[in-house]
């Protein structure tokens, strides 16, 4: 029920951005005091820090021992691009898209790589495409969690164990908050600034033995920029997966990532992280279920993200507005919450339908989600009253 009475309790931390995301609880700059600043990343201390980040990633994310883990440039985007440009072209490709980032990978594969045998399997915002139509004799590119739609695959059951093609999975807003079935995934990518609240510009590239075999047996028909090269002389550049990064990383960001991973271990590692994200989503989901003006963009409950939760304004009077009116109302709602200092950066992604996007990842406290909820009702009532007054 909406109310025009301003709530008394405010979130202790109003940061609900879907990326970069909130820092871990209790974080301060003191956490970075051991950073290898002013030192070469190729020096012993730098390489040891990078290796520590890789080892902790394997431990917390529960990556199989025979999968390679590398730190690469340009965030998750860089990691996905490296995989697409280095691995695709050996066979046909199915690219799945149900939100803006998946659509971006379609553009890369179709318009940039210009592969001759590509199928696009897509769905509108709020839905998954028909996963039964995917052909796993081909290579398959998909996002695990649609950051801009709040729609995720519920599990990896749709991927056969005896697939012939590779599965390339953009998992950037899923890793550390949703359980990834690595046996079904040949390439997994993510960035530090999502679930663990790390700093931007660094990506993670995880390769299965099948992906490594492809890299060593297949040479793309196009030239590869140095920043994309994962092999030399037909062999995997193993150093990339031992902390010898392709370009110069920020050792400050590396230290911050290590701190986040150690925090993850302190709360129960992957199980603890998933539990926190699930609790945050549950608190928000209960509110949405009782709301007379807000609904999930993701239609099917099983596909609703527990991190980037995307919400639609379902009030009939707002739904009756034209596209510009709906967008203006949603922006006004976001603006008033930001002015009050209770919710920052919760507007829907620019390509998505107008609405809200509230990050519920593990670094967010459930108490802050709960404190935010009455403010959503208050802001909606205030904006609707303003709309009626202007009519």
Distance linking the first and last C-alpha atoms of the chain? 23
- pLDDT for the residue 391: 80
In the three-class reduction of DSSP (H, G, I as helix; E, B as strand; rest coil), residue 286 is classed as helix
- Cα 7 to Cα 381: distance, rounded to the nearest angstrom: 12
Q: Is the pTM of this model over 0.95?
A: yes
Contacts of 207 (CB under 8 A, 6+ apart): 67, 68, 70, 186, 187, 215, 241
- State the average pLDDT over residues 301-325: 97
What is the token pair recorded at 385? 């009253």
26-54: average pLDDT: 97
Residue 227 token pair: 């920043």
Q: Are the C-beta atoms of 195 and 240 separated by less than 8 Å?
A: no
State the pLDDT at residue 2.
Answer: 56
For 133-191, the pLDDT digits (tens) are: 999 999 999 999 999 999 999 999 999 999 999 999 999 999 999 999 999 999 999 99
Residues 189, 83: Cα–Cα separation, whole Å: 9
Per DSSP, the residues of 187-250 read EEEEETTSTT---SSEEEEEE-HHHHHHHHH---SS---GGG--EETTEE-GGGGGT--SS---
Only one residue has tokens 């980037």, namely 308
Q: How confident is the model at residue 239 (pLDDT cuts 50, 70, 90)?
A: very high
- Closest to 330 (Cα-Cα) out of 344, 343, 311, 316: 311
> How do residues 79-128 score in pLDDT, each as one tens digit?
999 999 999 999 999 999 999 999 999 999 999 999 999 999 999 999 99
Residue 26 backbone zone (phi > 0: left; psi -120 to 50: alpha; other: beta): left
- Predicted confidence (pLDDT) per residue in 264-280, tens digit: 999 999 999 999 999 99
Beta partners for 344?
Answer: 15
Is residue 1's pLDDT more than 80? no
Rounded to the nearest 10 degrees, the angle between the axes of helix 44-61 and helix 251-266 is 30
Beta-carbon contacts of 244 under 8 Å, excluding residues fewer than 6 positions away, are: 42, 47, 50
Residue ranges of domains in the chain, CATH in brackets: 29-265 (3.40.640.10), 269-390 (3.90.1150.10)
Enter the tokens of residue 162. Answer: 């005896």
Q: What is the mean pLDDT of the chain?
A: 97
What torsion, rounded to 10 degrees, do the Cα atoms 17, 19, 23, 25 define? 50
Query: For residue range 214-228, what is the model confidence (pLDDT) as tens digits?
Result: 999 999 999 999 999
Residue 237, burial from CB neighbour count under 10 angstroms (0-12, 13-18, 19+): middle
pLDDT above 70: percentage of residues in the chain: 99
Q: Could you give the CA distance from residue 268 to residue 279 in angstroms, rounded to a whole number?
A: 15
Strand order in the sheet with 202-207: 68-73, 202-207, 187-191, 167-170, 139-143, 93-97, 118-122
| Alpha-carbon span 133 to 391, nearest angstrom | 48
Average pLDDT rounded to a whole number, residues 251-269:
98
Q: Which residues contact 14 (CB under 8 A, 6 or more apart)?
A: 341, 342, 343, 344, 368, 372
β-bridge partners, 126: none
Tokens in use for 51?
């290796």
* Listed residue (84, 83, 55) closest to 257, CA to CA: 55
pLDDT over 60 at 348, yes or no: yes
- Report the C-alpha gap between 192 and 187 in whole angstroms: 17
Within 10 A of 82 (CB to CB), how many other CB atoms are there? 26
Percent of the chain at pLDDT above 90? 98
| pLDDT average, residue stretch 228-253 | 96
Q: What is the full DSSP assignment across 31-93?
A: GGTT--TTS-TTSHHHHHHHHHHHHHHHHHHT--TTSEEEEEESHHHHHHHHHHHHHTTSS-E
Has residue 202 got a pLDDT over 90?
yes
Residue 371 confidence (pLDDT): 98
Write down the pLDDT at residue 3. 58
């Amino acid at each position: 029920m909406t109310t025009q009475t301003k709530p008394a309790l405010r979130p202790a931390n109003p940061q609900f951005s879907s990326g970069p995301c909130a820092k871990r609880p209790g974080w301060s700059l003191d956490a970075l005091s051991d950073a290898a600043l002013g030192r070469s990343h190729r020096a012993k201390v730098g390489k040891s820090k990078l290796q520590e980040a890789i080892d902790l990633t394997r431990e917390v994310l529960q990556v199989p021992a025979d999968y390679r883990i590398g730190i690469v440039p340009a965030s998750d985007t860089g990691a996905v691009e490296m995989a697409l440009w280095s691995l695709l072209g050996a066979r046909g490709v199915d690219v799945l898209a149900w939100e803006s980032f998946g659509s971006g990978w379609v553009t890369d594969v179709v318009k940039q790589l210009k592969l001759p045998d590509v199928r696009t399997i897509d769905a509108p915002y709020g839905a998954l495409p028909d996963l039964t139509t995917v052909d796993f004799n081909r290579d398959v590119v998909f996002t695990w969690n649609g950051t801009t739609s709040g729609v995720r695959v519920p599990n990896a059951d749709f991927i056969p164990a005896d697939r012939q093609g590779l599965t390339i999975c953009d998992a950037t807003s899923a890793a550390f908050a949703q359980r990834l079935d690595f046996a079904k995934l040949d390439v997994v990518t993510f960035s530090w600034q999502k679930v663990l609240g790390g700093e931007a510009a660094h990506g993670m590239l995880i390769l299965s033995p099948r992906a490594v075999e492809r890299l060593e047996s297949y040479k793309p028909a196009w030239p590869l920029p140095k920043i994309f090269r994962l092999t030399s002389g037909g062999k995997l550049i193993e150093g990339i997966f031992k902390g010898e990064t392709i370009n110069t990383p920020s050792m400050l960001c590396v230290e911050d990532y290590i701190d986040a991973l150690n925090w993850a271990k302190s709360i129960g590692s992957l199980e603890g992280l998933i539990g926190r994200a699930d609790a945050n989503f549950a608190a928000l989901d209960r509110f949405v279920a009782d709301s007379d003006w807000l609904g999930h963009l993701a239609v099917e409950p099983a596909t609703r993200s527990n991190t980037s939760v995307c919400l639609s304004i379902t009030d009939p009077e707002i739904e009756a507005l034209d596209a510009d009116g709906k967008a203006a109302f949603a922006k006004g709602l976001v603006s008033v919450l930001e002015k009050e200092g209770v919710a920052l950066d919760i507007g829907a992604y620019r390509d998505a339908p107008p609405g809200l996007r509230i990050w519920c990842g593990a670094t967010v406290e459930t108490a802050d989600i709960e404190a935010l909820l009455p403010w959503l009702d208050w802001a909606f009532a205030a904006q609707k009253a303003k709309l009626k007054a202007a009519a």
